[in-house]
């Protein structure tokens, strides 16, 4: 799994951080998403998929 | 759709009789039969009403549906709240790029780690209010004793608003959010609140402190990004959006858990379940009952219906959150529901609630504390004597007498 994000669209709702805190964080200046691990291990995949599904601004893209 | 000349039915707002926790019963039929339908608004105009989860995410996630209340066709009639439709309406009623520019000035204040750092303070506030409750002899009104003061104290703290003024806010926000007060009375309350906040911002300009308004003044106003009036608009938006919403979720959550011994018992036994339970309570109660609303800025097809430029849309969050296609057995409160967090109680799209992390922590703390400290908490009156807020844009209880 490979994660890409479109930070410009991020509205900093923070849901990804709640769901997958080992993969996503928010940057200090404005709460915009930061990817901590763009190729997360398999045990994170479900949480990452959930974060992508819930993201209100459809910022998180997943690639095989 | 019936092609009669009669005006469409009004936006449903009354819960089914005897089921105060359920959304208006019309929604479930609409979801299957007419998921995109016309409703009439208070002034005789009409708007589309969307009731299905998928349609509602599609609408709120599509920037061609505008939040700008100054656009022709925006369904303003019957809308309540603190903002005007005009210049000082706050970014909740704006579109990008202005919306994004202003929202990003405050997003860091509400990001997850900042809010988590506030948890001990929120716990302290909650404990003090619970201590005061314990000292009372007779039944207390949980709304007055806990549900309103917690979010009021928290947002006052963040904004740097003196807590002594909270009585004034409660009175004004009550008027601003009532669907039954006359428009001119609401306008008066809005002016009064604006005047107060205007003076508060002036005071902070002279002596900035360690709070959101002061940071806006120092970092954004003094650098010319925003004006004094913009700071006042931020204050009004944050104060109103964060106060009665959280308060009513606290009241309703406490009441449902008092009546559901099994769920309450599970949460008491395993407090780690409270996080998920809060998501389920947000889904189940869906307190936003009068919107969100949008106006189409292009001709857009949703679920086979063409919504034309300039037509208004009202989105039924409580209906989306009871959509059986997404939440099986949606009418049941299941504190362990695996996909509860897919709810749209905080909206969806770029306007999704800015204060959601804060609201979550407040709810987690208050519910956990009540379960722990008041295991015998129960309503002091029969449920049919509890005054539910069917007259308000934000659902809940006007009062909730409890004993223990
Ligand atoms: C349980 C409590 C809450 C609920 C159910 C709730 C619900 C919502 C909803 C549905 C929206 C979207 C409106 C739209 O799309 O037009 C929203 C937006 C907003 N909420 Fe909340 N809210 C809650 C608590 C809070 C708190 C505690 C704050 C902060 C102090 C807050 C601040 C805001 C702001 C500033 C917006 C506008 C965001 C934007 O337009 O970008 N809310 N809220």
Q: Is B48 in the pocket of ligand 1 (CB under 6 A)?
A: no
Evaluate whether residue B7 is within a structural domain.
no
Residue A56's domain comprises: 2-63
Classified as helix, coil or strand, B208 is coil
Structure tokens at B291: 């919107």
CB atoms closer than 10 angstroms to residue B30: 22
* Chain A nearest C-alpha distance from B136 (Å): 38
Q: How far apart are CA B319 and CA A21, in angstroms?
A: 30
Q: How many domains does chain A have?
A: 1
Helix (H) or strand (E) holding B282: helix B274-285
Phi, psi of B25 (to 5 degrees): -65, -20
Classified as helix, coil or strand, B85 is coil
What residues have CB less than 8 Å from B101, skipping those under 6 apart? none
- Closest Cα in chain B to A33: B111
Evaluate whether residue B211 is within a structural domain.
yes
Specify the pLDDT at position B89. Answer: 83
Q: Is B278 in the pocket of ligand 1 (CB under 6 A)?
A: no
Interchain CB distance below 8 Å, A58 and B61:
yes
Flag whether pLDDT at A17 surpasses 70: yes
Specify the pLDDT at position B328. Answer: 98
Q: How far apart are CA B132 and CA B30, in angstroms?
A: 46
Contacts of B348 in chain A (CB under 8 A): 56
Q: How far apart are the first and last CA of chain B?
A: 51
Residue of A6, A7, A10, A13 for testing the chain B interface, max B β-carbons within 10 Å:
A13
Nearest residue (by CA) to ligand 1, atom 39, is B351
CB distance from B111 to chain A under 8 Å? yes
Contacts of A11 in chain B (CB under 8 A): 100, 103, 107, 349-352
Q: CB of B126 within 8 A of CB of B365?
A: yes
Evaluate whether residue B331 is within a structural domain.
yes
**Residue of B379, B401, B276, B388 lying closest to B24 (CA atoms):** B388
Q: How far is CA B173 from CA A48, B180, B185, B243, in A?
A: 39, 13, 12, 8
Give distance in angstroms: CA of B354 to centre of ligand 1.
Answer: 6
What are residue B48's DSSP bridge partners?
Answer: B38, B313
Helix (H) or strand (E) holding B230: helix B228-259
For B350, the closest of A11, A28, A30 (CB atoms) is: A11
Q: Is B78 in the pocket of ligand 1 (CB under 6 A)?
A: no
Evaluate whether residue B170 is within a structural domain.
yes
Interchain CB distance below 8 Å, B357 and A14:
yes
CB distance from B298 to chain A under 8 Å? no
Q: Is B358 in the pocket of ligand 1 (CB under 6 A)?
A: yes
Q: How far is CA A34 from CA A28, B106, B166, B267, B355, in A?
A: 10, 17, 37, 33, 19
Q: How far apart are CA B123 and CA B127, in angstroms?
A: 6
Specify the pLDDT at position B5. Answer: 56
Q: How far apart are CA B229 and CA B148, in angstroms?
A: 27
Specify the pLDDT at position B2. Answer: 45
Evaluate whether residue B65 is within a structural domain.
yes
**Residue of B241, B251, B260 lying closest to B146 (CA atoms):** B251
Q: Is B351 in the pocket of ligand 1 (CB under 6 A)?
A: yes
Q: CB of B281 within 8 A of CB of B256?
A: yes
**What DSSP letter does each residue of A1-51 carry, written as one string?**
-EEEE-GGG-----HHHHH-TTTEEE-TTT--EEES-SS--GGGHHHHHHH
Evaluate whether residue B89 is within a structural domain.
yes
**Runs of H (alpha helix) within B98-227:** 98-103, 112-135, 142, 149-159, 166-177, 183-206, 212-216
Instruction: Quote the ipTM score.
Output: 0.94
CATH number at residue B94: 1.10.630.10
- Closest Cα in chain B to A53: B342
CATH number at residue A52: 3.30.70.20
Evaluate whether residue B130 is within a structural domain.
yes
Sign of CA dihedral B367, B393, B171, B205: positive
Nearest residue (by CA) to ligand 1, atom 41, is B351
Interchain CB distance below 8 Å, A12 and B111:
yes
Q: How far apart are CA B351 and CA A53, in angstroms?
A: 17
Tens-digit pLDDT string for chain B (404 aa) = 444 557 799 989 889 988 899 999 999 999 999 999 999 998 889 999 999 999 999 999 999 999 999 999 999 887 776 566 666 788 999 999 999 999 999 999 999 999 999 999 999 999 999 999 999 977 999 998 999 899 988 998 999 988 788 788 778 877 877 767 787 888 898 889 889 999 999 999 999 999 999 999 999 999 999 999 999 999 989 988 888 899 999 999 999 999 999 999 999 999 999 999 999 999 999 999 888 999 999 999 999 999 999 999 999 999 999 999 999 999 999 999 999 999 999 999 999 999 999 999 999 999 999 999 999 999 999 999 999 988 778 899 999 999 99
Q: How many domains does chain B have?
A: 1
Residue B241's domain comprises: 26-403
């Amino acid at each position: 799994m490979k994660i890409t994000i479109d930070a410009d669209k991020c509205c900093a709702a923070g849901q990804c951080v709640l769901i997958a805190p080992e993969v996503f964080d928010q940057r200090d200046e404005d709460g915009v998403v930061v990817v901590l691990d763009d190729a997360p291990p398999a045990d994170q995949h479900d949480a990452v998929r959930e974060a992508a599904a819930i993201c209100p601004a459809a910022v998180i893209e997943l690639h095989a | 759709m019936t092609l009669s000349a009669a005006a469409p039915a009004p936006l449903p707002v009354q819960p089914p009789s005897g089921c105060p926790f359920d959304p208006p019963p019309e929604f479930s039929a609409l979801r299957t039969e007419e998921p995109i339908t016309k409703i009439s608004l208070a002034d005789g105009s009409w708007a589309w009403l969307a009731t299905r989860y998928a349609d509602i995410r599609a609408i709120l996630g599509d920037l061609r549906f505008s939040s700008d209340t100054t656009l022709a066709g925006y369904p303003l009639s019957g809308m309540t709240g603190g903002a005007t439709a005009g210049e000082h309406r706050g970014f909740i009623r704006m579109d990008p790029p202005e919306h994004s520019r202003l929202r990003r000035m405050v997003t860091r204040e509400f990001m997850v780690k900042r809010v988590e750092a506030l948890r001990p303070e929120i716990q302290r506030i909650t404990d003090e209010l619970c201590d005061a409750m314990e000292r009372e002899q007779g039944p207390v009104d949980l709304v007055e004793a806990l549900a309103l003061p917690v979010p009021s104290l928290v947002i006052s703290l963040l904004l740097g608003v003196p807590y002594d003024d909270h009585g004034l806010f409660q009175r004004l926000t009550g008027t601003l959010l009532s669907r039954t007060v006359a428009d001119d009375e609401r306008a008066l309350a809005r002016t009064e609140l604006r005047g107060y906040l205007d003076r508060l911002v002036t005071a902070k300009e002279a002596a900035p402190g360690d709070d959101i308004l002061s940071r806006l003044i120092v970092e954004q106003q003094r650098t010319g990004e925003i004006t004094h009036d913009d700071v006042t608009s931020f204050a009004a938006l944050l104060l109103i959006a964060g106060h009665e919403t959280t308060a009513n979720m606290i009241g309703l959550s406490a009441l449902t858990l008092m009546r559901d011994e099994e769920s309450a018992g599970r949460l008491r036994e395993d407090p780690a379940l409270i996080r998920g339970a809060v998501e389920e309570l947000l889904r189940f109660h869906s307190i936003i009952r009068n919107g969100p609303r949008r106006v189409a800025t292009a001709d857009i097809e949703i679920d086979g219906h063409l919504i034309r430029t300039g037509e208004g849309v009202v989105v039924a969050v409580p209906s989306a959150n009871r959509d059986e296609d997404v939440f099986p057995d949606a009418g049941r409160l299941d504190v362990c529901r695996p996909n509860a967090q897919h709810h749209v109680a905080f909206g969806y799209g770029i306007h999704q609630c800015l204060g959601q992390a804060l609201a979550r922590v407040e709810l987690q703390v208050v519910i956990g504390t009540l379960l722990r400290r008041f295991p015998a908490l129960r309503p002091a009156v029969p449920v049919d004597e509890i005054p539910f807020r069917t007259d308000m844009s934000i659902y809940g209880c006007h009062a909730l007498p409890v004993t223990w």
